[in-house]
Amino acid sequence: MSHEPQAIDSRHLVIVGIVMLVSTVTVLGVCFLIWRTWAASEPLPVQPVGQPRLQARPASDLAAFRRQQAAQDRWEWVDERHATARVPVERAMRLMTREPPR
């Protein structure tokens, strides 16, 4: 003797099938209406693609970048009175990853 029913409840199966059919028809109808609305509208004008914006002075830009990097890679006081210093990035990363004193 089994604890599960052997017969399939056909009433529920028919209800699920009808709901799926109505849902499918509704979604297809909405998609068709949206498609007709968009197809009837005027297409957007195509904007011409502009030229790429290249650097005007790449050599001087590179020199300015290197000066900025060099300024960041040196030790200096930001505020000596409050003991705030600028530390090079590599050195700061090494200091932050070392084990704290016990």
pLDDT digits (tens, 9 = 90+) for 33-62: 999 988 877 878 888 888 888 888 999 999
Is the residue at 9 inside a domain? no
Residue with tokens 């930001």: 78
Show the domain range for 77: 63-97
Is the residue at 91 inside a domain? yes
Closest CA to 91 of 79, 77, 73: 73
Mean confidence (pLDDT) of the chain: 86
Is the residue at 82 inside a domain? yes
How far, in Å, CA of 97 to CA of 90, rounded? 11
Could you tell me the pTM of the whole model? 0.37
Is the residue at 87 inside a domain? yes
More confident residue, 18 or 82: 18
Three-class DSSP category at 83: coil
pLDDT at 70 over 90: no
Q: Are 88 and 102 in contact (CB under 8 A)?
A: no
Is the residue at 92 inside a domain? yes
